[in-house]
Amino acid sequence: MTHIGLSLLALLADDSTPSPSPTFNPDTVTPGTIGFVITLFVAVGAVLLIIDMVRRIRRVNLKQQVKEKLDAEEAAAAAALKRKGNRNGKSGGSLPGPKKN
């Protein structure tokens, strides 16, 4: 083996753990106040976005329900008008529109 191979093998075989540094600084391993503030802003922003999204989805669902209700009322009115027209001997019926002058 070469000298580099033996050195690498000795380095890999070394099982010692490094000793901790005598001057431990907690600011080097914690995010501190700035990290907390940034995390707080991200969390508040996410909550506000979720609330806005839920509000918009509810609005779309409500508009769809109103549209379906109006369509059902129009269909019922058209069916009633058609039944009334068939009873009077008329063929078919239509919804009354705006008066034309």
Q: Closest Cα partner for 82 from 50, 19, 53, 74?
A: 74
Confidence of residue 100 (pLDDT cuts 50, 70, 90): low
7-54 per-position pLDDT tens digit? 777 777 776 776 766 677 766 777 889 999 999 999 999 999 999 999
DSSP string, 12-27: HH--PPPPPPSS--GG
pTM to 2 decimals? 0.47
Q: Are 51 and 59 in contact (CB under 8 A)?
A: no
Q: Read off the DSSP letter of residue 101.
A: -
The secondary element (H helix, E strand) that includes residue 47 is helix 32-87
- Can you tell me the mean pLDDT for 46-67? 96
Per-residue pLDDT, 1 = 54
- What the block records as the tokens of 43 is 């969390």
